[in-house]
């Protein structure tokens, strides 16, 4: 059968495979997976290519250990021959944690205080403060809104608004993740009264619900098995339609398609025995069965969605906790342990299985507490590594030997620009002091957020954002009339400082603290203060030029 088998290497730069199954390693160290496919069957072989020169064990033994994350990452780095980068600076830690946890820049006062603080426990104290900030809920609600927010043109404005408010309130309460998902999956009632019901108004067909729930909450992409056997996984049509069978016992009444504003509400409820689902080829009636598990007995009076939720949130479930900790880890570290984050399969294994298993077990042990998970990640030494590579890890893109630089999300970047310029952005239908991260609908106009990757909910969710920078984004910052208006505003930081008695050196220091949470070095100070003595320059124009330059720098646009 060898000649009839199809072979694929997931990392050809590490090892390639030809049509006869012969594997050839390259000079680059790392791990790849060789996938073999034959008549709908899939098998994998993990291939490790060790580093040409491994480093002495004592070099790893001397590294700082803050929690179990560090032990598990160091073990992997030792295996592939990478040394972690140095610890980041206090300014980098302050800015990084604030942007990651709450999507906000530290204030000038917070930066001064943190940099001057000599208390060795200030890092843990700062993390704890961030997790109690009100902005934490809005920042993380935006991330989950991307994944589950329906198109308001199809579902209606009011249902989408109610769903958004339910998500935000859930994060304000730090609702345990298992409870959050259970409430969402089992929602029923009026779409104009109960926010989570908007999910079912949007994913009206059982097969759409199966795809959505599997990908978002289990990290499993079943959609490829809708019409045929999954090309690189074990899922077939039976798996797909048995997952869809969990969503057939729903009845609805009311207007199915919404008018542009909200239209008529729709009522959804569990109705036993209302429908079943057939295999599209064999026409056999299929019973509910979760992925990679056996059928679950369901009484006629039981809502199959509740049974599925119980199965998903069982502490022994091999998918549920792993999927969410992988998503959160990716948000803080720039790359999922399984990447893409919603594509768990044998042919796409985790880069550090022990780390993923430990994070999931610890998350379950602490009651599915998202704040505990985030605190654990931020307190690790791995999270505190510099983004600057050393002589061993410049090629590392997935083992976390250094911090991976990440472009700021659209809402975070706009809120950062507003904070630095001290000029509020206004959004139609929102309070005058609303933050960008509090917007709940892509129809709230913002060319800035659209340019920087705000997803359009008219496309099918989940709306994964494109994190790479683009020429459009660079041109928008350089040429934005909106940004120029914020710089010259009579109510902004530039005008306030231009009218003050502060010396140029004091002004530049404040601008650097506002943008980067650090003080300028000697060369930066010289260049920036020279703007104040340039020909025809005024304090106002010099301030505008310096701040414009800082806002257009990679250091501002990236979290590093």
**Highest-confidence segment of 5-19, 52-66, 336-350, 543-557:** 543-557
Mean pLDDT of the region 58-63? 94
Identify the residue with better confidence: 429 or 120.
120
Q: Which domain holds residue 550?
A: 410-452+469-559
Residue 75 lies in a domain: no
Q: Taking 90 as the threshold, does the pLDDT of residue 92 lie above it? A: yes
Structure-token pair, residue 100: 């990651």
**Residue 513 above 90 pLDDT?**
yes
pLDDT of residue 441: 83
Q: What is the pLDDT of residues 332-388, one digit of tens each?
A: 999 999 999 999 988 888 999 999 999 999 999 999 999 999 999 999 999 999 999
301 with 441, same domain? Answer: no
Is 24 domain-assigned?
Answer: no
53 in a domain, yes or no?
Answer: no
Q: Are the C-beta atoms of residues 416 and 105 closer than 8 Å to each other? A: yes
Residue 374 included in any domain? no
Residue 94, in any domain of the structure:
no
Q: What is the mean pLDDT of the chain?
A: 91
Which of the four pLDDT bands, split at 50, 70 and 90, describes residue 231?
low
Of residues 42 and 215, which shows the higher confidence score? 215
- Of 258-262, 394-398, 491-495, 547-551, the one with minimum mean pLDDT is 258-262
| Whether pLDDT at 417 is above 80 | yes
Q: Where are the alpha helices (DSSP H) in 88-156?
A: 90-102, 108-116, 122-131, 135-148, 152-155
- State whether residue 278 is helix, strand or coil: strand
- The whole-number pLDDT of residue 164 equals 95
pLDDT above 70 (res 23): yes
107-137 pLDDT per residue, tens: 999 999 999 999 999 999 999 999 999 999 9
Task: Give pLDDT, residue 330.
Answer: 96
Kindly report each contact of residues 469-473 with a partner whose C-beta sits within 8 Å and lies 24 or more positions away, as own/partner: 469/407, 469/557, 473/407, 473/557
Does the predicted model carry a pTM greater than 0.75? yes
Structural domain contains residue 109: no
Beta carbons within 10 angstroms of residue 282's beta carbon: 10
Which stretches does DSSP call E strand in 147-249?
189-190
* pLDDT (0 to 100) of residue 187: 96
What tokens were used for 483?
């940004």
Cβ neighbours of residue 60 closer than 8 Å, sequence gap 6 or more: 74, 77, 78, 83
Sort residue 298 into left (φ over 0), alpha (ψ -120 to 50) or beta. beta
pLDDT of residue 470: 82
Q: Work out the pLDDT band at 142, boundaries 50, 70, 90.
A: very high
Secondary structure of 367-421 in HEC code, one letter for each residue? CCCHHHHHHHHHCCCCCCECCCCCCCCCCCCCCCCCCCCEECCHHHHHHHHHHHH
What is the total count of domains within the chain?
2
Could you tell me if 171 and 278 lie in one domain?
yes
pLDDT in tens, 145-183: 989 988 888 888 889 999 999 999 999 999 999 999 999
CA angle 262, 266, 268 (to 5 degrees): 145
Is 219 within the bounds of a domain? Answer: yes
| pLDDT > 80? residue 447 | yes
Has residue 491 got a pLDDT over 90? Answer: yes
Q: What DSSP designation does 514 have? A: H
CATH of the domain at 501: 1.10.3130
Contact 52, 64 (CB under 8 A): no
Residues 418 and 307 in one domain: no
Q: What average pLDDT does range 403-431 have in this prediction?
A: 94
Determine the average pLDDT of the residues in 2-10.
Answer: 88
Residue 232 confidence class, pLDDT cut points 50, 70, 90: low
User: Please, what sign has the CA dihedral across residues 203, 206, 208, 214?
Assistant: positive
Same domain, 420 and 284: no
Statement: residue 197 has pLDDT above 80:
yes
DSSP 51-66: -SSPPPHHHHHTS---
Strand partners, 285: 278
End residue of a domain, out of 251, 281, 312: 312
Q: 29-33, 430-434, 499-503, 523-527: which range is least confident on average?
A: 29-33
Q: Give per-residue pLDDT as tens, 460-471.
A: 655 567 777 788
Q: Are residues 421 and 531 in the same domain?
A: yes
Please tell me whether residues 415 and 308 are part of one structural domain.
no
The pLDDT confidence band at residue 259, using thresholds 50, 70 and 90, is low
Domain end: 258, 283, 312, which one? 312
Sort 343 into a burial class: Cβ within 10 Å, 0-12 / 13-18 / 19+. middle
Summarised one tens digit per residue, pLDDT across range 263-280 is 688 899 998 876 778 888
Give whole-number Cα distances, 487 to 426, 473, 480, 482, 517, in Å. Answer: 16, 18, 11, 9, 20
> Does residue 123 form part of some domain?
no
Strands 30-38 and 41-49: antiparallel
Last residue of a domain, one of 312, 343, 376: 312
Q: Which residues, at least 6 apart from 379, have a Cβ–Cβ distance to it below 8 Å?
A: 66, 67, 123, 124, 127
Tokens of 44: 């994998």
């Amino acid at each position: 059968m060898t000649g009839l088998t199809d072979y694929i290497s997931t990392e050809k730069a590490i090892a390639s495979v030809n049509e006869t199954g012969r594997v050839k390693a390259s000079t680059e160290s790392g791990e790849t997976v060789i996938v073999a496919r034959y008549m709908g069957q899939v098998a994998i072989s993990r291939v490790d290519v060790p580093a040409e020169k491994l480093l002495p064990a004592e070099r790893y033994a001397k590294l700082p250990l803050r929690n179990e994350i560090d032990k598990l990452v160091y073990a992997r780095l030792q295996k592939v021959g990478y040394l972690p980068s140095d610890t980041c600076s206090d300014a980098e830690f302050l800015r990084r944690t604030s942007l990651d946890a709450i999507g906000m820049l530290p204030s000038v006062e917070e930066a001064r205080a943190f940099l001057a603080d000599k208390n060795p426990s200030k890092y843990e104290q700062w993390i704890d403060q961030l997790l109690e900030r009100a902005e934490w809920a809005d920042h993380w609600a935006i991330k989950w809104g991307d994944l589950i927010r329906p198109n308001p043109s199809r579902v209606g404005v009011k249902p989408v608004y109610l769903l958004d408010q339910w998500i935000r309130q859930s994060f304000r309460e730090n609702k345990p993740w298992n409870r959050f998902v259970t409430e969402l999956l089992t929602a029923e009632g009026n779409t104009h009264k109960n926010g989570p019901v908007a999910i079912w108004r949007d994913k009206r067909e059982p097969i759409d619900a199966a795809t959505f729930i599997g990908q978002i909450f289990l990290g499993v992409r079943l959609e490829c098995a809708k019409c045929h056997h999954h090309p690189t996984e074990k899922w077939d049509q039976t798996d797909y339609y048995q997952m869809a069978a969990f969503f057939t016992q729903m009845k609805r009444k009311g207007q199915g398609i919404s008018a542009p504003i909200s239209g008529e509400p729709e009522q959804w409820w569990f109705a036993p025995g209302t429908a079943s689902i057939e295999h599209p080829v064999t026409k056999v009636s299929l019973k509910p069965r979760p992925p990679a598990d056996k059928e679950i007995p369901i009484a006629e009076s039981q809502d199959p969605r509740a049974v599925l939720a119980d199965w998903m949130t069982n502490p022994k479930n091999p998918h549920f906790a792993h999927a969410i900790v992988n998503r959160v880890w990716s948000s803080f570290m720039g790359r999922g342990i399984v990447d893409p984050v919603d594509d768990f399969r044998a042919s796409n294994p985790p880069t550090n299985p022990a780390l993923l298993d430990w994070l999931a077990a610890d998350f379950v042990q602490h009651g599915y507490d998202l704040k505990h998970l985030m605190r654990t990640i931020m307190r690790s030494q791995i999270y505190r590594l510099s983004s600057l590579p050393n002589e061993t890890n410049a090629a590392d893109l997935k083992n976390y030997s250094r911090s991976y630089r990440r472009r700021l999300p659209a809402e975070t970047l706009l809120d950062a620009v507003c904070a630095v310029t001290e000029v509020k952005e206004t959004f139609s239908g929102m309070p005058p002091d609303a933050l960008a991260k509090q917007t709940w609908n892509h129809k709230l106009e913002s060319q800035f957020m659209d340019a920087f990757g705000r997803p359009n909910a008219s496309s099918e969710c989940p709306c994964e954002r494109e994190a790479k920078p683009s020429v459009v984004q660079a041109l928008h910052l350089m040429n934005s009339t909106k940004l120029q208006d914020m710089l010259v505003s009579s109510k902004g930081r530039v005008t306030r400082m231009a009218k003050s008695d502060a010396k140029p050196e004091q002004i530049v220091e404040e601008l650097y603290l506002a943008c980067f949470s650090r003080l300028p070095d000697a060369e930066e100070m010289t260049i920036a203060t020279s703007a104040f003595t340039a020909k025809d320059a005024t304090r106002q124009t010099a301030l505008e030029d310096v701040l414009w330059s800082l806002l257009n720098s990679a250091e501002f646009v990236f979290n590093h």
